[in-house]
Amino acid sequence: MKSQKYLIPLFVALLLGACAPGPNSRSTGQALDDASITTRVKTQIAKNESFGKAMAIDVDTYRGVVSLSGFVDNQQQASEAVKTAKQVAGVERVINNLHVKPQATGSSGTSGAAGSSSK
């Protein structure tokens, strides 16, 4: 009976230790902050009339670093999306994984990564 008295607290301590975040994971508060940043960036991009179809831009946030991906019509839209994301409170850095859509006229070589930027 005495051994059970010590086993239960030990078991609980082990369970709680296993749930602790590691160096590469986020706490619940940090995950909520990242979700809030993602929402604010998406909202600001959607408000910008120069984007047309803002839904073609995906926004992900991890520990304050915003990653933009998807397709835009031209390099100016990619630059504007990065600029818009950088202006949102809580954004530490912006990773630009946006691609310019190929031109429908058949011109070659206009698609590709729009570049990478950091704050």
Mean pLDDT by 10 residues, the chain (119 residues): 61 59 67 91 88 78 96 91 96 96 65 52
Other beta carbons less than 10 A from residue 111's beta carbon = 12
Sequence length of the chain is 119
Q: What is the pLDDT of residue 58?
A: 94
Q: What is the pLDDT of residue 102?
A: 87
Other beta carbons less than 10 A from residue 59's beta carbon = 23
State whether residue 77 is helix, strand or coil.
helix
Q: What is the pLDDT of residue 115?
A: 55
Domain ranges of the chain: 26-113
Distance CA 71, CA 101 (A): 6
Q: What is the pLDDT of residue 22?
A: 59
CATH fold for the domain made of 26-113: Histidine-containing Protein; Chain: A; (3.30.1340)
Q: What order of strands is seen across the sheet that includes strand 65-72? A: 57-62, 65-72, 93-100, 112-113
Question: Cα dihedral angle (74, 36, 66, 41), rounded to 10 degrees?
Answer: 20
Positions of E strands within the chain: 57-62, 65-72, 93-100, 112-113
Q: What is the pLDDT of residue 26?
A: 64
* Sign (positive or negative) of CA dihedral 80, 85, 89, 93: negative
Q: What is the pLDDT of residue 54?
A: 54
